[in-house]
């Protein structure tokens, strides 16, 4: 089964590297033809994964029409760009197995990648690939375990996308896997802000724990299975993202907590996701205190100390 990876950023390139090391017929697509040509010539993605050699078996293209023969297409694009890309590219993608590799909720519509694909490409089979992973670890061949969420049997797709360093666990709960991957980014910003403001490790542990409870409540209310959030796509990803400076969301939180500017040129999916979660929860009358704190913090409507005061002044309750 041939595979195309759409998105030549760090994560898309890392997945393409791992797949090409394990199987033939892997193609990496990027929208910038000059960058794609340079990667093909130098066998390196100098912008995102410098120093890592791209496998000889990996092919490249900037022409979306050339991915038409691929039966499985991995969508490694920023979550906030996905809706527009699907609308413009549906003719090339509909009817294929589309594997979502981004994590987030579309800010304008308030829906996740699965629903976006169902709207733009109704004949496509949708899967979610998510879990605790950093692009550089995958590209370096370090062991990584991920969740593959797909309706029905996942065996063939699981075998297609498993590599020498990526181990896939399957689930049929696409919604739970999708929401876990999106919401943990919001909690990572909160944890980064706590550490950046000097509030300490105990405050981070509290935010991770209560943030995880918030994630589970919201996912369950939306129809996901709570046990999905306990796995790699929720709890596992939460641990990784809230504790490492390799995480863009965590480092964005560090900057906010320290009163520094947000990093330039880096996608921080937790920011629009926080706004989307607050909008969704307000419509449902559902309380999401940490997500709300992050949303107000990143828009400059409150300081870290104000957000902390709001959280600590909430009514006492049972755990």
Going by C-alpha positions, the residue among 149, 189, 166, 153 that lies closest to residue 271 is: 189
Q: Is 24 left (phi over 0), alpha (psi -120 to 50) or beta?
A: beta
Query: d(Cα 287, Cα 217) in Å, to the nearest integer?
Result: 10
Residue 76 contacts residue 15 (beta carbons within 8 Å): yes
Strands 144-150 and 125-130: antiparallel
Report the SS3 class of residue 137. Answer: helix
Dihedral angle computed from the Cα positions of residues 3, 32, 11 and 238, in that order, rounded to the nearest 10 degrees: -120
Query: d(Cα 228, Cα 243) in Å, to the nearest integer?
Result: 21
Query: d(Cα 172, Cα 138) in Å, to the nearest integer?
Result: 24
Candidate list 66, 96, 155, 184, residue with the active-site label? 184
User: Which distant-in-sequence residues (6+ apart) come within 8 Å of 129 by Cβ?
Assistant: 74, 99, 100, 101, 146, 147, 148, 149, 161, 168
User: Which distant-in-sequence residues (6+ apart) come within 8 Å of 163 by Cβ?
Assistant: 18, 19, 21, 22, 23
> Which two tokens mark 127?
């899967």
Report the SS3 class of residue 165. Answer: coil
Question: For this structure, is 246 an active site residue?
Answer: no
> Which two tokens mark 146?
């991920």
Catalytic positions are 184
């Amino acid at each position: 089964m041939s595979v195309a990876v759409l998105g030549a950023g760090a994560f898309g390139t890392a997945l393409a590297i791992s797949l090409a090391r394990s199987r033939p017929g892997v193609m990496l697509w990027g929208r910038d033809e000059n960058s794609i040509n340079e990667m093909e010539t130098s066998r390196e993605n100098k912008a995102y994964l410098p120093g890592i050699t791209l496998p000889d078996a990996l092919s490249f293209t900037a022409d979306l029409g050339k991915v038409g023969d691929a039966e499985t297409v991995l969508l490694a694009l920023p979550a906030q760009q996905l809706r527009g890309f699907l609308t413009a590219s549906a003719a090339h993608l509909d009817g294929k197995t589309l594997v979502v590799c981004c994590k987030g909720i579309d800010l304008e519509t308030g829906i996740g990648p699965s629903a976006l694909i169902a709207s733009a490409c109704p004949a496509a089979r949708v899967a979610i690939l998510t879990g605790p992973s950093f692009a550089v670890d995958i590209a370096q061949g370090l062991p990584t375990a991920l969740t593959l969420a797909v309706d029905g049997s996942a065996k063939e797709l699981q075998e297609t996308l498993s590599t020498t360093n990526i181990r896939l666990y399957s689930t049929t709960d696409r919604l739970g896997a999708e929401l876990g991957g999106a919401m943990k980014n919001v909690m990572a910003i909160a944890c980064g802000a706590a550490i950046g403001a000097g509030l300490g490790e105990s405050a981070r542990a509290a935010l991770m724990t209560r943030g995880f409870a918030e994630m589970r409540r919201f996912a369950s209310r939306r129809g996901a299975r709570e046990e999905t959030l306990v796995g790699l796509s929720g709890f596992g990803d939460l641990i990784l993202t809230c504790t490492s400076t390799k995480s863009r969301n965590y480092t964005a939180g560090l900057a906010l907590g320290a009163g520094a500017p947000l990093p330039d040129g880096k996608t921080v999916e937790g920011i629009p996701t926080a706004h989307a979660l607050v909008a969704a929860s307000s419509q449902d009358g559902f309380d999401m205190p940490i997500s709300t704190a992050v949303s107000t913090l990143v828009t400059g409507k409150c300081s870290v100390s104000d957000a902390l005061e709001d959280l600590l002044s909430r009514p006492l309750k049972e755990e």
